[in-house]
Structure 1
Amino acid sequence: MSFREKMPTSPKSPLRRRRLSWSGSWLNHQTTSFKQVISAVAQAQSPRSRSKSLSSDFDFPDVDRTLSLPDSLLLKILAKLPESQNDDFSLVCKRWLDLQGRRVRTMKVFDWDFLLSGKLISRFPKLANVDLSNACVNPPRKSGVLLSHKSISFHISSSDSTNWQVNLLQSEMVDRGLRVLGRGGCDLLKLAVTNATELGLLSLAGDCSDLQELELQKCNDNLLRGIAAFENLRALRLVGTVDGLYSSSVSDIGLTILAQGCKRLVKLELSGCEGSFDGVKAIGQCCEVLEEVSICDHRMDDGWIAALSYFESLKTLRISSCGKIDTSPGPEKLLGSCPALESLQLKRCRLSDKEGLRALFKVCDGVKKVIIQDCWGLDDDSFSLAKAFRRVRFLSLERCSVLTTSGLESVILHWEELESMRVVSCKNIKDSEISAALSSLFSLLKELQWRPDTRSHLSSSLEGTGIGKRGSKFFKRR
């Protein structure tokens, strides 16, 4: 007789019970276990449960004992769960679904009707960060082609591959959604929206006066009249024209309105915006606590760089994706400097315009941190203009393929306060061309990351020599 024939097969046998419960136990293990923990907490608060044995406390309850727990306590318990289980416990019951909705603080909306219906706010009443930029795009019917551009993703018609202009929602529809969002009573602190109007922003400001961060895509001068109502605004991102997607204009008029209405700004990003010296100067004079300015793909007139000297509190300046810096910045003797500037970052810019680059380096002469990444046109002559920097402590060069070893050496030997350096993927900087003076400088650095090309062996040869590590004790104290 086989072993299987000897074992009992009646429904009451242990083996039979084990077979019946096996499929359900592994499917519901996580939910059941968590339910048991909640029940144990509920029993611990109940006077009747204190007389029961420890074994009975963890039996699966016939009655939902979590009903005795207040929402505030249950929310603290649910907050201990990993994010991967949020969807699981929201399926337990309607109450837990509502509690999960109250825990969601950030939402990227893709369906505009979901906002207009009021379901967004009723389902997630405690939203603080809402991104409506993707929902503001009206997708064509039966489109299977998805186009992504930075933070925007939208569908385009596959039958018309020559016209990729974004089909945005009408401004009236966008304003209507902003009114629904404002009347929902959520604790909105950050918002991103596309193609809104001045009236839409004013209606939102009346209900969400605590808004601190705002991103306006397809922005224009008239729209900026509405942002003055956000008295607590600290960070602002304006997107005017995006090539191939949409076109809008932010000129000196809009920048002046911005300067007069947002005097508490700490961070400002201008992307695809126009303007000139006057608009930039107005921002520098009015926004006295502005610390970070980012300029992306600008369309500003010549001479705008000279206005940067009016930013007395500016600490970080980022310039990215710009085909030009400033082709006619004016006489160098008329250029001032940013007194508080600490960091200058240039990414994906054309730096072949030496006049604009000279003016920029002159205005930023007191900078302590310089980052240049993926910039074309940065040859030895252009980089030599960096001798204007007087207090550089950190230098990072990445994918600057034209710059040579001698060009690098001619500049950094003039920087007496240089402490750290990073050189990555700069193929014309060679180990074999390192001079004795440059090698001596390396030995004094507190931190050195040297990988100019795939053939570089300096990093491995530095091990055990102390080069790039002297002064590390002082470096760690800071």
Structure 2
Amino acid sequence: MGYRETAEEDDHETMSLRCEKPNPKTSPLPPSKRRTARWSDIWLKNTTPLKNMIFAMQLASPNPKSTHKTLIPNWANIDRTSVLSDEILLKILAKLPESQRKPSSVVCKRWLNLHGRLVRSIKILDWNFLQSGRLISRFPNLNQVDLLSGSLIPDQNSGISLSCRMLSVHTGSGFSPNQRVLESNLLPAEVVDRGLDGLASGCPNLRKLVVIGASELGLLSVAEECPTLQELELHKCSDNVLRGIAACENLQVLKLVANVDGLYSSVVSDIGLTILAQGCTRLVKLELWGCEGSYDGIKAIGQCCQMLEELTFCDHRMDGGWLAALPYCENLKTLRFQSCKRIDTVPGPDEYLSACPALERLHLEKCQLRDKKIVRALFMVCRAAKEIVFKNCWGLENDMFRLASTCRRVKLLSLEGCSVLTTEGLESVILAWKGLECLRVASCKNLKDKEISPALSTLFSTLKELQWRPDTKSLLPSRINGTTIGKKGSRFFRKTRDLKMLFDDQNPLLEFIHR
């Protein structure tokens, strides 16, 4: 069988291969000795199609010597990002790290505007920036706004700065401890309300807001225009102001600051707490700073806010007997006390002090624990807690700490800055906690290494986490701390070793560490 290449006359760029049987009459060789045609013979026999193909390829290839002209003149000098849409360029800028977004915003005005659309959180320092409308035009997609510093009128001629953990303000030289510094340095409530009205209409997707000195009308406008508001921090609030936030149906995190010594003063009583409880039924976290109230206000919160999981009291002014209302918070998991001069004045009889059923964590920081009856009532209400934290608490001596033995489910204990507590008082309580897994001790100068008993050492060997830094002279941190002694206890405390031999010396822990 053989192949023959034919070329069409009217189309030189088309080749066709067709099969043709050899003619035995014209062939000089017999059929048995005829050789089959090869591709090389067919290809070199007629080179016309090959020449046509090479010519067509030369026409299609660009000429490097010719000038390449485009539809857009001066293409090399034009910003090529201008042909990208805002949506595409926004996605590109959103991929940049936070450290590179701000420098990229000064490239051009377009990038500056696009950068503003990416900003979600802002802290206002100048109220005119909000009141003039520049805030909304510059940052149209905000969902977190802090107006606290911008609501203050600073003394421009004063170089004295008064700071606290929440804010700082410039004050004059005539400041006295009995003076309410921010009472005269706050913007009028009407000005704050107008700013809130403009902010709510321009940022309907607002999720977090920090404000001071607002009235009921300003908060009502925020509640109506911002249905997605979930977190609110309200300073210098009162019972009447709480009527405005009662309309925030989706509010989940709320911080109320009523009274701050030396800065400003306002009153939140049982009336305001009841209004709050009936309006904000979806609260998960509530912080009460300098608020007044009593048993009725806390009871209303517990009955209405059934999703409440975290409750914080800071420098509260509650009336006596309010502790007995905490069990109404059936889903409460975390209870915190900060800077409280007293937990309760008259806790009431023991039969009214039932335990919070779901409580897991009890945290006390910078609190005065000097009344044994009040501390006992607190531990009775929190006897289901699994985590207890004491940080810089005054009056936590051995007798006070022994009252914590009421809590039988403790798995984590943290002590920091408890300088009165001794090793004996610590041992008497934690040995009774059979489920203790974690112990953290820091800056407790009366906890001595040489006073650790064999029973306490055995307990240390079973803990999953041990942090022991009672003072700078302690020898335990440099050798054992951070080594997860619970997992390596067999290396240090072997069953075949008599533990009593480790404590014959005057400093038994030192001898144990050297071994």
Same fold (TM over 0.5): yes
For residues 407 and 75 of structure 1, do their structure 2 counterparts lie closer, same or farther at Cα, with a shift above 3 Å needed? same
Note the 1:122-133 alignment, pairs <5 A: 122-133=137-148
SS at 2:107 equivalent: coil
Matches of residues 385-424 of structure 1 in structure 2 within 5 Å? 385-424=403-442
Kept in 2, the 8 Å contact 1:297–1:323? The answer is yes
Alignment check: 8 A CA contact 2:468 2:481 kept: no
Distance in 2 of aligned mates of 1:82 and 1:144? 37
Please give the residue correspondences for 1:271-282 in structure 2 after superposition, counting only pairs within 5 Å.
271-282=289-300
Shift of 1:132: 0.5
Structure 2 counterpart of 1:386, which letter? A
Structure 2 counterpart of 1:355: 373
Equivalent AA in structure 2 for residue 361 of structure 1 = F
Contact 1:326–1:355 (Cα < 8 Å) also in 2: no
String of CA shifts for 1:86-108, please: whole Å, max 9, x gaps: 22211111110011111111111
**CA displacement, residues 29-77 of structure 1 (integer Å, 9 cap, x when unaligned):** xxxxxxxxxxxxxxxxxxxxxx999xx9xx9941111122222221222
**Paired position in structure 2 for 1:81:** 96
Note if 1:158 corresponds to 2:176. Answer: no
- Deviations 1:234-258, CA, capped at 9 Å, x for gaps: 0000000000000000001001111
Q: Which amino acid aligns with 2:248?
A: F
Partner of 1:222: 240
Alignment partners' CA distance in 1, 2:102 and 2:274: 47
CA contact (8 A) 1:304 1:329 kept: yes
Q: How many angstroms apart in 1 are the aligned matches of 2:202 and 2:123?
A: 17
Q: Could you tell me whether the CA contact under 8 Å between 1:312 and 1:340 is conserved in 2?
A: yes
Name 1:204's counterpart in structure 2.
222
What secondary structure sits across from 2:330 in the alignment?
A: coil
Partner of 1:254: 272
Alignment counterpart, residue 238 of structure 1, candidates 256, 259, 263: 256
Instruction: Give the drift of 1:355.
Output: 1.4
Distance 1:466 1:78 in 2: 45
Question: How far apart are 1:136 and its partner, in Å?
Answer: 1.2
Unaligned runs of 5+ in 2: 1-61, 69-73, 491-515
Range with bigger deviation, 307-316 or 86-95? 86-95
The answer as to whether partners of 2:464 and 2:484 remain within 8 angstroms in 1 is: no
Counterpart CA distance in 2 for 1:232 and 1:336 is: 31
Q: Percent identity between the aligned chains?
A: 62
Matching of residues 17-56 of structure 1 within 5 Å: none
In the alignment, structure 1 residue 63 sits paired with structure 2 residue 78: yes
TM score, norm. by length of structure 1: 0.84
- The secondary structure found in structure 1 opposite 2:169 is strand
For 1:231, give the aligned amino acid: E
Greater CA deviation, 257-266 or 77-86? 77-86
Q: Check whether the contact 1:421–1:447 (CA below 8 A) recurs between aligned residues.
A: yes
Q: How does 1:134-173 map to 2 (within 5 A)?
A: 134-160=149-175, 163=179, 165-166=181-182, 167-173=185-191
The whole-number CA distance in structure 1 between the counterparts of 2:486 and 2:477 is 10
- 1:204 and 1:239 map into 2 onto residues whose CA distance is 19
- Give the stretch that moved more between structures: 61-70 or 340-349: 61-70
User: Does the 8 Å CA contact 2:323/2:347 hold for their aligned counterparts?
Assistant: yes
2:318 match: 300
1:467 equivalent to 2:450? Answer no
Q: Give the aligned partner of residue 106 of structure 1.
A: 121
Question: How far apart, CA to CA, are the structure 2 residues paired with 1:125 and 1:457?
Answer: 58
Q: Distance in 2 between matches of 1:97 and 1:140?
A: 33
- Which has the larger Rg? 2
User: What is the rounded CA distance, in whole Å, between the counterparts of 1:362 and 1:178 in structure 2?
Assistant: 44
Deviation larger for 361-370 or 133-142: 133-142
Is contact 1:320–1:348 with CA below 8 Å preserved after alignment? yes
Change (3 A) 1:60 1:368: farther
Aligned-residue offset at 1:186: 4.5
Q: Structure 2 vs 1, CA of residues 255 and 413 (structure 1 numbering), >3 Å: closer, same or farther?
A: same
- Separation in structure 1 between the aligned mates of residue 131 and residue 203 of structure 2, nearest angstrom: 14
Q: Considering only aligned residues, what root-mean-square deviation do their CA atoms show, in Å?
A: 2.2
In the other structure, the counterpart of 2:395 is: 377
- Give the whole-Å Cα distance in 1 for the aligned partners of 2:170 and 2:377: 42
Provide the secondary structure at the position in 1 that maps to 2:229: coil
Whether the 8 Å CA contact 2:466–2:481 is kept in 1: the answer is no
Structure 1 residues 279 and 463 mapped into 2: Cα distance closer, same or farther (>3 Å)? closer
Alpha-carbon distance between aligned partners in 2 of 1:239 and 1:355, rounded to the nearest angstrom: 28
Q: Provide, for residues 192-240 of structure 1, a one-character-per-residue CA deviation record: whole Å limited to 9, x for no partner.
A: 1001111111111121111000011001000011112111100000000
- Mapped contact 1:443–1:466 kept (Cα < 8 A): no
CA offset at residue 290 of structure 1?
Answer: 0.3
| Whole-Å separation in 1 of the counterparts to 2:481 and 2:382 | 35
Deviation at 1:127? 0.7
Deviations 1:266-322 (A, max 9, x none): 000000000011101110111000001111010001111111111100011111000
Q: Which residue does the alignment assign to 1:189?
A: 207
Letter in 1 for 2:97: P
Once the two structures are superposed, residues 175-202 of structure 1 have per-residue CA deviations (whole angstroms, 9 ceiling, x without a partner) of 1110010111342100010011111111
Q: Work out whether residues 125 and 186 of structure 1, in 8 Å CA contact, stay in contact via their aligned partners in 2.
A: no
Partner of residue 451, structure 1: 469
Q: CA shift at 1:159, angstroms? A: 4.7
Residue in 2 that maps onto 1:13: none
Q: Which residue of 1 aligns with 2:507?
A: none
Establish whether residue 93 from structure 1 lines up as the match of residue 108 from structure 2. Answer: yes
Secondary structure in structure 1 of the residue aligned to 2:281: coil
Where does the alignment leave 5 or more consecutive residues of structure 1 unmatched? 1-50, 473-478
Identify if the C-alpha distance between structure 1 residues 160 and 290 changes in structure 2 by more than 3 Å, giving closer, same or farther.
closer
Contact 1:447-1:469 within 8 A present in 2 as well: no
Instruction: Indicate conservation of the 8 Å contact 1:129/1:191, yes or no.
Output: yes
> 1:441 maps to what in 2?
459
Provide the C-alpha distance between the structure 1 equivalents of 2:205 and 2:110, rounded to a whole number of angstroms: 21
Over 3 Å counting, the alpha-carbon distance change for 1:470 and 1:358 in structure 2 is farther
CA distance, structure 2, for counterparts of residue 434 and residue 418 of structure 1: 17
Matched, 1:266 2:284: yes
CA distance in 2, matches of 1:274, 1:164: 19
CA separation of 1:169 and 1:465: change in aligned 2, threshold 3 A: closer
**CA distance 1:330–1:160, shift in 2 (3 Å):** closer
* AA at the equivalent of 1:79: A
Q: Distance in 2 between matches of 1:373 and 1:469?
A: 28
Per the TM alignment, residue 434 of structure 1 is displaced from its structure 2 partner at its CA by 0.2
The more displaced of 409-418 and 181-190 is 181-190
- Range with greater deviation from structure 2 (141-150 or 351-360): 141-150
